[in-house]
Amino acid sequence: MIGSHVSIKAINKWFGDFQVLKNVNLEIKKGEFFSLLGPSGCGKTTLLRIIAGLENADEGDIKFDNVSILSIPPHKRPVNTIFQNYALFPHLNVFENIAFSLRLKKYSEDEIKEKVEKLLNLIRLEEHANKKPNQLSGGQRQRVAIARALANEPKVLLLDEPVSALDAKLRQELLIELDNLHDQVGITFIYVTHDQAEAISISDHVAVMNEGKIVQYGTPYEIYESPADKFVATFIGETNLMKAIVLEINEELLKIEAPGIGEFYCYKDKEVKEKNQILLTLRPEKIKISKKPLTGKNVFHGIIEEEIYMGYQTRYFVKLDNGFILRVYKQHVNYLLDEPILTWKDEVFVSWDPNDSFIVEVN
């Protein structure tokens, strides 16, 4: 049987004159939880459908353990797909939905009973075996869809935004369940989503797509902490973008000047020259804020123009003395008992470590 290591080489796909995938290359390790992340229309679902055999690639190849699968019919590929709408049969109960593909493959009734009962136990729906899909919650229907997809023991499970139709609380619960299921079954999951929080929270590796291209590949930590460009920095979480000019170049730090901020230091993560114009990204939660004067290389004074209480954090929009509006997110767990509570129109000091800002563009 074809193995589950997925190698995607130079995939191109056109719909008429529109090129939806542009030289896509990826290596997906056996048994990992891998996410394709990007906005609507970026090509991620088309790539998933090509892996499943539901679309044809115009150029390139896809291999499972060094064996090309593009000439293999969809029903013979060792993959199964879970779509947004789950595609459960409304006239069949939970047991029969899961058993459907097993009956097509002529398994014996004893084998079907054994396999389905194991899957019902896996998804914790043993007591719902005789219910129809319309008698289940959205989360339960999703778990049935997963069990049905696993019934044929695929080597790769493809998931096309399977939790997008659920409310936020249920989405989070089911993401945890998906992660646990992945750990239990041990096969490769390829998960498509436009939600960066989903991808970051459950994936071993993430490929960020934009306009048909892979713009960054890495672990969730690498994607979030070291975005490759402006698109990734703004699509993955929230950030401060700062235009600046390079004044001095040291071994690891740059002295720069930004309109509305002034002179400060940033990490030299790209090759630059003096007088280059650069674009920096700085995550709001990396910034310290206090009524008391702060120390460090990058310290500025400002006034809180807006505050948004989020429960787990408060989001401040601080207007610096030179005019720049800086986003600062303060986790409530970090509050000290003797620290004054910050509020609208307070004068504050902000500071950040030069190593927490990254260059995403050089001109």
Instruction: Give the per-residue pLDDT at 121.
Output: 92
What angle (nearest 5°) sits at the alpha carbon of residue 57, between those of residues 56 and 59?
150
DSSP string covering 310-361: -SSEEEEEEEETTS-EEEEEEEGGG--TTSPPP-TT-EEEEE--GGGEEEEE
Backbone angles phi, psi at 2, to 5 degrees: -60, 135
Give the structural domain span for 38.
6-235
Summarised one tens digit per residue, pLDDT across range 32-80 is 999 999 999 999 999 999 999 999 999 999 999 999 999 999 989 999 9
Contacts of 10 (CB under 8 A, 6+ apart): 23, 24, 25, 59, 60, 61
Distance between CA atoms of 15 and 258, rounded to whole angstroms? 43
The residue out of 235, 268, 287 marking a domain boundary is 235
Examine the pLDDT at 242 and tell me if it is beyond 50.
yes
Arithmetic mean of pLDDT, 280-288: 97
Q: Provide the number of structural domains found in the chain.
A: 2
Instruction: Give the per-residue pLDDT at 335.
Output: 55
Residues 102 and 188 in one domain: yes
**3-class SS of residue 241:** strand
Instruction: Give the per-residue pLDDT at 339.
Output: 67
pLDDT confidence bin for 4, thresholds 50/70/90 = very low
Distance between CA atoms of 301 and 298, rounded to whole angstroms? 10
Residues 76 and 105 in one domain: yes
Residues 39 and 161 in one domain: yes
Give the distance from CA 77 to its chain's centroid: 26
Instruction: Give the per-residue pLDDT at 170.
Output: 79
Supply the CATH number for residue 119's domain.
3.40.50.300
**Joined tokens for residue 7:** 């190698």
CA–CA distances in Å: residue 7 to residues 54, 56, 82:
18, 16, 21
Most confident of 126-140, 167-181, 221-235: 221-235
Contacts of 320 (CB under 8 A, 6+ apart): 260, 261, 262, 300, 301, 302, 326, 350
Residues 187 and 249 in one domain: no
Instruction: Give the per-residue pLDDT at 336.
Output: 53
Instruction: Give the per-residue pLDDT at 3.
Output: 42
Q: Is residue 1 part of a domain?
A: no
Residues 48 and 139 in one domain: yes
Decide which of 79 and 1 is more confident: 79
Helix (H) or strand (E) holding 110: helix 109-122
What are the beta bridge partners of residue 313? 331
Model's pTM, two decimal places?
0.89
